[in-house]
Homo-oligomer: A and B are copies of this chain.
Amino acid sequence: PDSIRLAVVAGDGIGTEVVEQGLRVLDAALAGTDVKVQPTEFDLGARRWHATGETLSDADLASIREHDAILLGAIGDPSVPSGVLERGLLLKLRFSLDHYVNLRPSKLYQGVRSPLADPGEIDFVVVREGTEGPYTGNGGALRVGTPHEVATEVSVNTAFGIERVVRNAFERAQARPRKHLTLVHKHNVLVHAGHLWRRTVEAVNADFPDVTTDYLHVDAATIFLTTKPSRFDVIVTDNLFGDIITDQAAAIIGGIGLAASANINPDRDADGSFVAPSMFEPVHGSAPDIAGQGKADPTATVASVALLLDHLGFSEQSRAVEAAVAADLAERGDRVRSTAEVGGDLAARVAG
Protein backbone atom coordinates (compact mmCIF):
# COMPACT_ATOMS: atom_id res chain seq x y z
CA PRO A 1 0.00 0.00 0.00
CA ASP A 2 1.21 3.55 -0.55
CA SER A 3 -0.94 4.91 2.21
CA ILE A 4 -2.38 3.81 5.51
CA ARG A 5 -5.87 5.08 6.05
CA LEU A 6 -5.86 5.41 9.82
CA ALA A 7 -8.95 6.00 11.91
CA VAL A 8 -7.84 7.93 14.98
CA VAL A 9 -10.03 7.70 18.07
CA ALA A 10 -8.12 9.73 20.62
CA GLY A 11 -11.00 9.53 23.09
CA ASP A 12 -10.97 10.91 26.60
CA GLY A 13 -8.52 12.15 29.21
CA ILE A 14 -4.92 11.38 28.40
CA GLY A 15 -6.08 9.63 25.20
CA THR A 16 -5.46 12.74 23.07
CA GLU A 17 -2.01 13.27 24.51
CA VAL A 18 -0.70 9.75 24.04
CA VAL A 19 -2.23 9.32 20.58
CA GLU A 20 -0.47 12.45 19.37
CA GLN A 21 2.85 10.87 20.27
CA GLY A 22 1.84 7.54 18.77
CA LEU A 23 1.14 9.28 15.44
CA ARG A 24 4.45 11.08 15.62
CA VAL A 25 6.35 7.82 16.04
CA LEU A 26 4.28 6.18 13.32
CA ASP A 27 5.25 8.93 10.89
CA ALA A 28 8.89 8.61 11.89
CA ALA A 29 8.80 4.85 11.35
CA LEU A 30 7.42 5.23 7.83
CA ALA A 31 9.63 8.20 6.90
CA GLY A 32 12.04 6.05 4.94
CA THR A 33 9.24 4.49 2.86
CA ASP A 34 6.82 5.76 0.21
CA VAL A 35 3.95 5.10 2.54
CA LYS A 36 2.01 8.02 3.97
CA VAL A 37 -0.31 7.92 6.94
CA GLN A 38 -3.72 9.43 6.19
CA PRO A 39 -5.35 10.00 9.54
CA THR A 40 -9.06 10.64 10.02
CA GLU A 41 -10.00 11.87 13.45
CA PHE A 42 -13.19 10.62 15.03
CA ASP A 43 -14.76 12.63 17.78
CA LEU A 44 -15.92 9.81 20.04
CA GLY A 45 -16.06 9.45 23.79
CA ALA A 46 -17.37 11.43 26.74
CA ARG A 47 -17.44 14.87 25.07
CA ARG A 48 -19.45 13.60 22.12
CA TRP A 49 -21.84 11.68 24.36
CA HIS A 50 -22.52 14.70 26.55
CA ALA A 51 -23.07 16.89 23.48
CA THR A 52 -25.19 14.52 21.38
CA GLY A 53 -26.09 11.45 23.43
CA GLU A 54 -24.31 9.33 20.81
CA THR A 55 -21.63 6.77 21.55
CA LEU A 56 -20.95 5.31 18.09
CA SER A 57 -23.42 6.02 15.31
CA ASP A 58 -23.98 3.78 12.29
CA ALA A 59 -22.36 6.48 10.17
CA ASP A 60 -19.26 6.56 12.38
CA LEU A 61 -18.96 2.81 12.20
CA ALA A 62 -19.41 2.73 8.41
CA SER A 63 -16.78 5.40 8.03
CA ILE A 64 -14.34 3.65 10.39
CA ARG A 65 -14.75 0.48 8.32
CA GLU A 66 -13.25 2.29 5.33
CA HIS A 67 -9.89 2.47 7.13
CA ASP A 68 -6.93 0.12 7.28
CA ALA A 69 -6.53 0.34 11.03
CA ILE A 70 -7.69 2.20 14.12
CA LEU A 71 -5.49 3.88 16.70
CA LEU A 72 -7.36 4.37 19.95
CA GLY A 73 -6.21 6.39 22.95
CA ALA A 74 -8.51 5.84 25.89
CA ILE A 75 -12.24 5.87 26.48
CA GLY A 76 -14.07 6.80 29.65
CA ASP A 77 -14.81 9.60 32.06
CA PRO A 78 -16.32 9.64 35.55
CA SER A 79 -19.03 12.01 34.28
CA VAL A 80 -20.50 9.25 32.10
CA PRO A 81 -22.45 6.44 33.76
CA SER A 82 -20.45 3.23 33.97
CA GLY A 83 -21.01 0.95 31.02
CA VAL A 84 -22.29 3.56 28.56
CA LEU A 85 -19.04 4.21 26.71
CA GLU A 86 -17.56 0.80 27.45
CA ARG A 87 -20.48 -1.07 25.92
CA GLY A 88 -21.63 1.60 23.46
CA LEU A 89 -18.26 2.52 22.02
CA LEU A 90 -15.23 0.42 22.94
CA LEU A 91 -16.90 -2.99 23.02
CA LYS A 92 -19.16 -2.01 20.11
CA LEU A 93 -16.06 -1.42 18.00
CA ARG A 94 -14.51 -4.73 19.07
CA PHE A 95 -17.70 -6.66 18.43
CA SER A 96 -18.83 -4.94 15.22
CA LEU A 97 -15.42 -5.31 13.61
CA ASP A 98 -15.17 -8.87 14.95
CA HIS A 99 -11.86 -8.33 16.74
CA TYR A 100 -11.62 -11.87 17.93
CA VAL A 101 -7.92 -11.78 18.76
CA ASN A 102 -7.22 -9.42 21.62
CA LEU A 103 -3.44 -9.53 21.73
CA ARG A 104 -1.54 -8.40 24.81
CA PRO A 105 2.21 -8.94 24.93
CA SER A 106 3.93 -8.79 28.32
CA LYS A 107 7.63 -8.25 28.36
CA LEU A 108 9.81 -7.04 31.19
CA TYR A 109 12.19 -4.68 29.46
CA GLN A 110 15.69 -4.08 30.66
CA GLY A 111 15.80 -0.98 32.83
CA VAL A 112 12.24 -1.42 34.08
CA ARG A 113 11.68 -2.29 37.70
CA SER A 114 9.14 -5.03 38.30
CA PRO A 115 7.19 -4.99 41.57
CA LEU A 116 8.15 -8.65 41.90
CA ALA A 117 11.24 -9.37 43.99
CA ASP A 118 12.48 -12.04 41.60
CA PRO A 119 10.66 -11.59 38.30
CA GLY A 120 13.00 -13.67 36.14
CA GLU A 121 12.60 -13.29 32.40
CA ILE A 122 9.09 -12.18 31.54
CA ASP A 123 8.21 -12.46 27.88
CA PHE A 124 4.82 -13.87 27.07
CA VAL A 125 1.77 -12.90 25.09
CA VAL A 126 -1.85 -13.29 26.03
CA VAL A 127 -4.30 -14.08 23.25
CA ARG A 128 -7.57 -13.01 24.79
CA GLU A 129 -10.76 -13.94 22.96
CA GLY A 130 -12.49 -10.67 22.06
CA THR A 131 -16.02 -11.34 20.87
CA GLU A 132 -17.67 -13.85 23.20
CA GLY A 133 -17.75 -15.05 26.79
CA PRO A 134 -19.32 -12.87 29.47
CA TYR A 135 -18.79 -9.78 27.27
CA THR A 136 -21.67 -10.44 24.87
CA GLY A 137 -24.15 -8.31 26.77
CA ASN A 138 -26.53 -11.21 27.15
CA GLY A 139 -28.42 -11.34 30.39
CA GLY A 140 -30.64 -8.83 32.08
CA ALA A 141 -32.40 -7.80 35.21
CA LEU A 142 -35.80 -8.37 36.74
CA ARG A 143 -37.64 -6.41 39.46
CA VAL A 144 -34.88 -3.80 39.45
CA GLY A 145 -34.66 -1.78 42.64
CA THR A 146 -36.79 -4.17 44.68
CA PRO A 147 -35.65 -6.69 47.29
CA HIS A 148 -36.51 -9.36 44.72
CA GLU A 149 -34.21 -8.15 41.97
CA VAL A 150 -32.51 -10.83 39.90
CA ALA A 151 -29.66 -9.96 37.55
CA THR A 152 -28.09 -12.41 35.14
CA GLU A 153 -24.99 -12.26 32.97
CA VAL A 154 -24.72 -14.92 30.30
CA SER A 155 -21.38 -16.09 29.01
CA VAL A 156 -21.85 -17.28 25.43
CA ASN A 157 -19.19 -19.52 23.95
CA THR A 158 -19.22 -21.14 20.53
CA ALA A 159 -17.08 -23.80 18.88
CA PHE A 160 -16.69 -21.41 15.94
CA GLY A 161 -15.55 -18.51 18.10
CA ILE A 162 -13.17 -20.53 20.22
CA GLU A 163 -11.66 -22.52 17.36
CA ARG A 164 -10.57 -19.45 15.43
CA VAL A 165 -8.88 -17.74 18.36
CA VAL A 166 -7.26 -20.95 19.54
CA ARG A 167 -5.88 -21.52 16.04
CA ASN A 168 -4.48 -18.00 16.01
CA ALA A 169 -2.84 -18.61 19.39
CA PHE A 170 -1.27 -21.84 18.14
CA GLU A 171 0.13 -19.98 15.12
CA ARG A 172 1.68 -17.40 17.40
CA ALA A 173 3.09 -20.08 19.71
CA GLN A 174 4.57 -21.96 16.76
CA ALA A 175 6.37 -18.81 15.61
CA ARG A 176 8.07 -18.34 18.97
CA PRO A 177 11.21 -20.14 20.19
CA ARG A 178 9.56 -21.93 23.09
CA LYS A 179 6.44 -23.01 21.14
CA HIS A 180 4.34 -23.37 24.25
CA LEU A 181 0.66 -22.62 24.73
CA THR A 182 -1.18 -22.43 28.06
CA LEU A 183 -4.95 -22.52 28.18
CA VAL A 184 -6.34 -20.54 31.10
CA HIS A 185 -9.95 -21.17 32.11
CA LYS A 186 -11.95 -22.55 35.02
CA HIS A 187 -13.29 -25.82 33.65
CA ASN A 188 -13.79 -27.39 37.06
CA VAL A 189 -16.60 -24.93 37.73
CA LEU A 190 -17.62 -23.47 34.36
CA VAL A 191 -17.88 -26.97 32.97
CA HIS A 192 -19.78 -26.29 29.74
CA ALA A 193 -17.64 -23.45 28.44
CA GLY A 194 -14.49 -24.83 30.01
CA HIS A 195 -14.75 -28.25 28.46
CA LEU A 196 -15.45 -26.70 25.06
CA TRP A 197 -12.26 -24.65 25.38
CA ARG A 198 -10.30 -27.69 26.48
CA ARG A 199 -11.56 -29.96 23.71
CA THR A 200 -10.88 -27.25 21.16
CA VAL A 201 -7.28 -26.80 22.29
CA GLU A 202 -6.76 -30.56 22.13
CA ALA A 203 -8.28 -30.80 18.65
CA VAL A 204 -6.39 -27.86 17.13
CA ASN A 205 -3.15 -29.11 18.68
CA ALA A 206 -3.22 -31.91 16.08
CA ASP A 207 -2.46 -29.30 13.41
CA PHE A 208 0.44 -27.91 15.46
CA PRO A 209 2.21 -31.03 16.71
CA ASP A 210 5.40 -29.12 17.61
CA VAL A 211 3.56 -26.86 20.05
CA THR A 212 3.37 -28.12 23.63
CA THR A 213 0.35 -27.19 25.74
CA ASP A 214 -0.72 -27.09 29.32
CA TYR A 215 -3.70 -25.92 31.29
CA LEU A 216 -4.18 -23.69 34.33
CA HIS A 217 -7.28 -22.66 36.19
CA VAL A 218 -7.49 -18.88 36.17
CA ASP A 219 -6.99 -18.72 39.93
CA ALA A 220 -3.79 -20.75 39.68
CA ALA A 221 -2.67 -18.54 36.77
CA THR A 222 -2.71 -15.49 39.06
CA ILE A 223 -0.40 -17.37 41.43
CA PHE A 224 2.12 -18.23 38.71
CA LEU A 225 1.97 -14.66 37.40
CA THR A 226 3.22 -13.71 40.86
CA THR A 227 5.68 -16.49 41.60
CA LYS A 228 6.99 -17.67 38.22
CA PRO A 229 5.86 -15.57 35.25
CA SER A 230 8.79 -16.91 33.22
CA ARG A 231 6.82 -20.15 32.80
CA PHE A 232 4.47 -18.48 30.30
CA ASP A 233 5.03 -18.24 26.55
CA VAL A 234 1.62 -17.87 24.88
CA ILE A 235 -1.60 -17.89 26.90
CA VAL A 236 -4.99 -18.32 25.27
CA THR A 237 -8.05 -17.49 27.30
CA ASP A 238 -11.59 -16.28 27.49
CA ASN A 239 -12.58 -12.61 27.21
CA LEU A 240 -13.12 -11.96 30.93
CA PHE A 241 -10.23 -14.06 32.23
CA GLY A 242 -8.07 -12.32 29.64
CA ASP A 243 -9.18 -8.92 30.89
CA ILE A 244 -8.22 -9.83 34.43
CA ILE A 245 -4.89 -11.55 33.89
CA THR A 246 -3.61 -8.99 31.37
CA ASP A 247 -3.96 -6.22 33.92
CA GLN A 248 -2.04 -8.35 36.39
CA ALA A 249 0.49 -9.07 33.63
CA ALA A 250 0.84 -5.34 32.99
CA ALA A 251 1.47 -4.76 36.68
CA ILE A 252 4.34 -7.24 36.89
CA ILE A 253 6.13 -5.77 33.85
CA GLY A 254 6.14 -2.32 35.39
CA GLY A 255 2.63 -0.99 35.00
CA ILE A 256 -0.18 -0.43 32.53
CA GLY A 257 1.70 2.66 31.38
CA LEU A 258 3.83 0.24 29.37
CA ALA A 259 1.27 -2.34 28.23
CA ALA A 260 0.30 -2.41 24.55
CA SER A 261 -2.66 -4.17 22.99
CA ALA A 262 -4.17 -5.00 19.65
CA ASN A 263 -7.74 -5.95 18.82
CA ILE A 264 -7.25 -7.96 15.69
CA ASN A 265 -9.51 -9.40 13.06
CA PRO A 266 -7.00 -11.46 11.04
CA ASP A 267 -9.51 -12.58 8.38
CA ARG A 268 -8.95 -11.55 4.77
CA ASP A 269 -11.10 -11.16 1.69
CA ALA A 270 -10.47 -13.12 -1.49
CA ASP A 271 -8.30 -10.23 -2.72
CA GLY A 272 -6.05 -10.52 0.32
CA SER A 273 -7.18 -7.41 2.12
CA PHE A 274 -8.42 -7.54 5.68
CA VAL A 275 -12.18 -7.85 6.13
CA ALA A 276 -12.15 -5.14 8.78
CA PRO A 277 -9.72 -2.70 10.36
CA SER A 278 -8.02 -3.90 13.50
CA MET A 279 -7.67 -1.60 16.49
CA PHE A 280 -4.56 -0.74 18.48
CA GLU A 281 -4.77 0.72 21.95
CA PRO A 282 -2.79 1.01 25.16
CA VAL A 283 -4.19 -1.13 27.99
CA HIS A 284 -4.39 1.86 30.34
CA GLY A 285 -7.48 4.02 30.69
CA SER A 286 -8.17 7.74 30.31
CA ALA A 287 -6.62 8.65 33.69
CA PRO A 288 -8.68 11.83 34.22
CA ASP A 289 -6.60 12.69 37.30
CA ILE A 290 -3.52 13.49 35.19
CA ALA A 291 -5.21 14.48 31.92
CA GLY A 292 -4.08 17.69 30.22
CA GLN A 293 -0.89 17.93 32.24
CA GLY A 294 1.54 16.42 29.75
CA LYS A 295 2.45 13.79 32.34
CA ALA A 296 1.08 10.65 30.70
CA ASP A 297 3.59 8.11 29.46
CA PRO A 298 2.92 7.48 25.75
CA THR A 299 5.07 4.32 25.72
CA ALA A 300 2.13 1.90 25.71
CA THR A 301 0.59 3.73 22.75
CA VAL A 302 3.87 3.69 20.87
CA ALA A 303 4.27 -0.03 21.60
CA SER A 304 0.72 -0.47 20.24
CA VAL A 305 1.85 1.35 17.08
CA ALA A 306 4.52 -1.35 16.72
CA LEU A 307 1.74 -3.96 16.80
CA LEU A 308 -0.18 -1.93 14.19
CA LEU A 309 2.81 -1.81 11.84
CA ASP A 310 3.36 -5.53 12.23
CA HIS A 311 -0.29 -6.28 11.51
CA LEU A 312 -0.20 -4.23 8.30
CA GLY A 313 2.91 -6.02 7.10
CA PHE A 314 5.55 -3.44 7.99
CA SER A 315 7.58 -5.86 10.07
CA GLU A 316 10.85 -4.00 9.72
CA GLN A 317 9.29 -0.72 10.82
CA SER A 318 7.51 -2.53 13.64
CA ARG A 319 10.80 -3.91 14.91
CA ALA A 320 12.34 -0.43 14.75
CA VAL A 321 9.59 1.00 16.96
CA GLU A 322 9.87 -1.93 19.34
CA ALA A 323 13.65 -1.44 19.50
CA ALA A 324 13.21 2.27 20.18
CA VAL A 325 10.90 1.48 23.08
CA ALA A 326 13.35 -1.07 24.47
CA ALA A 327 16.31 1.33 24.18
CA ASP A 328 14.39 4.22 25.69
CA LEU A 329 13.31 2.09 28.66
CA ALA A 330 16.81 0.76 29.16
CA GLU A 331 18.16 4.28 29.47
CA ARG A 332 15.38 6.30 31.05
CA GLY A 333 16.30 5.66 34.67
CA ASP A 334 14.53 8.06 37.02
CA ARG A 335 14.38 10.95 34.56
CA VAL A 336 11.06 12.75 34.49
CA ARG A 337 9.98 13.69 30.97
CA SER A 338 6.76 15.10 29.59
CA THR A 339 4.50 13.11 27.27
CA ALA A 340 5.85 15.04 24.30
CA GLU A 341 9.45 14.57 25.37
CA VAL A 342 9.08 10.81 25.58
CA GLY A 343 7.32 10.81 22.21
CA GLY A 344 10.03 13.00 20.72
CA ASP A 345 12.80 10.79 22.06
CA LEU A 346 11.11 7.69 20.70
CA ALA A 347 10.52 9.30 17.30
CA ALA A 348 14.16 10.37 17.17
CA ARG A 349 15.35 6.85 17.94
CA VAL A 350 13.09 5.41 15.25
CA ALA A 351 14.26 7.98 12.71
CA GLY A 352 17.84 7.71 13.68
Contact = CB atoms under 8 A, between A and B. Distances in A.
B240 A252 contact: no
A33 interface: no
Contact of A250 (B190, B199, B223): B223
Interface in A149-189: 149-160, 163, 186-189
A93 to B, nearest CB: 14
B251 A223 contact: yes
A87 interface: yes
B192 A152 contact: yes
A83 B190 CA distance: 8
Top-5 shortest CB links A-B: A219-B247, A222-B248, A226-B251, A151-B192, A149-B159
A135 B87 CA distance: 24
Interface in A266-289: none
A222 B242 CA distance: 12
A15 interface: no
13 contacts: A76-B188, A117-B117, A135-B189, A139-B155, A141-B192, A147-B163, A151-B193, A153-B155, A154-B154, A155-B155, A222-B244, A225-B248, A226-B248
Given A156-B150, A159-B146, A192-B151, A248 B248 contact: yes
A303 interface: no
A220 interface: yes
Given A247-B223, A250-B223, A192 B140 contact: yes
Interface in A186-233: 186-196, 199, 218-220, 222-223, 225-227
Interface residues of A, number: 67
A134 interface: yes
A335 interface: no
A123 interface: no
A91 interface: yes
A256 interface: yes
A227 B82 contact: no
Contacts of A292: none
A285 to B, nearest CB: 9
Contact of A141 (B140, B146, B160, B196): B196
Given A83-B188, A152-B193, A153-B190, A247 B220 contact: yes
Contacts of A86: 188-189
A116 interface: yes
Contacts of A143: 159
Contact of A115 (B135, B192, B227): B227
Given A115-B117, A115-B227, 18 more contacts: A82-B194, A83-B194, A115-B226, A117-B117, A134-B134, A134-B153, A134-B189, A134-B190, A139-B155, A145-B199, A150-B156, A150-B158, A151-B158, A151-B196, A186-B240, A218-B244, A222-B245, A226-B252
A58 interface: no
Nearest to A143: B159
Given A114-B117, A155-B139, A189 B223 contact: no
A195 B149 CA distance: 11
Contact of A226 (B189, B192, B226): B226
